[in-house]
């Protein structure tokens, strides 16, 4: 129920250590805690993530995860890469 109401606790909160983009514009974000997250819905505009930004990963519906940077308004669907 917490996922549906948006009150589920975060899976990770960490600074962004690095970000890379693939040929389709999807990002791979490495957090300072060592986790690597890959964008799964790279449609449209390329994400603009800044190294050092505070990143929060929260659980989404149907086993998905959401990535949000503290200094941005957009939320991105991601999957744990490692």
State the pLDDT at residue 73.
Answer: 87
What is the length of the chain? 82
3-class state of residue 74 by DSSP:
coil
State the pLDDT at residue 5.
Answer: 55
pLDDT values of the chain reduced to their tens digit, one per residue, 82 residues = 555 555 678 899 999 999 999 888 899 999 999 999 999 987 767 888 999 999 999 999 888 999 999 988 889 999 999 6
Continuous H helices in the chain: 2-5
State the pLDDT at residue 82.
Answer: 65
State the pLDDT at residue 29.
Answer: 97
Strand-strand pairing, 36-39 and 27-31? antiparallel
Q: Say what the pTM is.
A: 0.85
Joined tokens for residue 1: 């129920």
């Amino acid at each position: 129920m917490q996922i549906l109401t948006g009150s589920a606790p975060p899976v990770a909160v960490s600074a962004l250590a690095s970000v890379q983009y693939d040929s389709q514009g999807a990002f791979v974000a490495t957090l300072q805690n060592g986790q690597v997250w890959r964008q799964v819905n790279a449609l449209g505009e390329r994400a603009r993530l800044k190294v050092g930004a505070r990143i929060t990963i929260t659980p989404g519906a149907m086993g998905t995860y959401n990535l949000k940077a503290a200094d941005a308004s957009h939320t991105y669907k991601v999957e744990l890469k490692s």
